[in-house]
Amino acid sequence: MTATRITVSGDSPYDVVIGSGVQAELPGLLRPGVRTVAVVRPQGLPELSRPVLAALADAGYEVADLPVPDGEACKTPEVAAGLWSALGRHGLTRSDAVVGVGGGATTDLAGFVAGTWLRGVQVVLVPTTLLAMVDAAVGGKNGIDTPEGKNLVGTFLPPAGVLCDLAVLPGLTKADYVAGLAEVIKGGFIADPRILTLIESDPEGATRPDGPHTRELIERKIRVKADVVGADLREQGLREILNYGHTLAHAIERDEHYTIRHGEAVAIGMVYAAELSRLSGRADLTGRTRAVLTSVGLPVSYHAAAWPRLREHMRLDKKNRGAKQRFVVLDDLARPARLEDPAEELLEAAYKEITR
C-alpha cells in the first residue's frame, strides 16, 4: 500500500507521511542544504534508530547518533543541555538538522532542542509509538518538564516533516498501544465521530496494530490534528480543543511522578471533562465516554484521596490565563467549547463522579 501524505498548513507547511516500511522517505523530508544530521533517540531502543541512521548515511549525510534516557526521563533541562553541548561538538550549523526518533517524550525533546539551538534549526520527527504518531509528533509544540509541571518550558517549531512508519507498531506492548488509543478516541469526541464508530464496531480489533481499521483510525486522528494546528499553531484559540481531558491528565501524571502512561491519564481526564460538561448543563456524553474507553481497556477512574493534590497541580496549567482556570468541554459530540473559571464545587463534584 502506498504512503499517505497529510499536509499541515500554516506559515511553515509540512507533510506527515504515513505507511508501512516508509523509511526511504526520510531524506526527502529534509530541506536542501543539510550536511550534518543529529539523531536524538532513546538509548534503550537502539533497534528503532538503526533504519533511520542507515537511511541518512546512505543519503550522504554526516550523522551524529545522540542517545538519551528512555521515556519522560529525557525531558529535563539537564538532558537538553547535554544535547546542546553535543550539537556544538558536532558543529551543527543553522543549515543542518535534528531528527527525533522515538515516542512522544523523545520527539518533544528533539523538537525543543532543535528550536533552541542557534535560535532554531530544522527538525524531522520519526515517531515510533501510536501516541507519538497521532499526537506528540504532529503540531510543532515541543517542551521539557520541570519539577513544577509537565511541558512548562517549550517552543513552537513546526517540523520540516513527520514520518510515521506503521511497521514499528507491532513491536509495542499492548498496554503502550492501547494507551495511544486515548488520543485517537479524543479526536473522535472533539472533531471526527467516525473514529468512535469504527472503534465501537470492533473494540478488540482497535487494540491491535493489524486491526482492520488501524490505518484509517491513525490517518483520521492525524487529519484532525493537522486541521487544527494548521489554523492555530500557537494555541491562541482553536488549538485549545486538543487539550480535551488534559488538564486533569497532566495533574495525574505529576501525581504519579510520570510513571503512568500519558494515554491512561488522558482517558481518565476525558471522563472528568465529560462529567464537567454534563454538570455544567452541556452535553451528557459520560456514558459513551466510559463505554468506548473501557471497551479497549483504558481506565476511567482515579482514587478519591488524590483530589487535594490534583487540584493544586491543576492550578499551574498552560491553558490558565491569570488566576482563571480553563477547561475544554463539549456542547455536543464534535462541538468543543471552553469552560472558564468554574466554581470549586463544580470541579469537585465532577471529580467525585470519576472516583465511583
Catalytic residues: 119, 141, 183, 225, 235, 239, 243, 246, 250, 262
Q: What are phi and psi of 146, to 5 degrees?
A: -130, 170
Three-state DSSP class for residue 348:
helix
Q: 282, 244 in Cβ contact below 8 A?
A: no
Q: Which residues contact 108 (CB under 8 A, 6 or more apart)?
A: 75, 136, 141, 142, 143, 144, 151, 154
Residue 8 CB coordination number (10 Å): 25
Q: 258, 151 in Cβ contact below 8 A?
A: no
Q: How far is CA 18 from CA 97, 176, 197, 236, in A?
A: 21, 20, 22, 28
Provide the residue type at 346 as one letter: L
Give the residue numbers of the binding site for Zn(2+).
Answer: 183, 246, 262
Q: Which residues pair with 97 in a beta bridge?
A: 37, 122
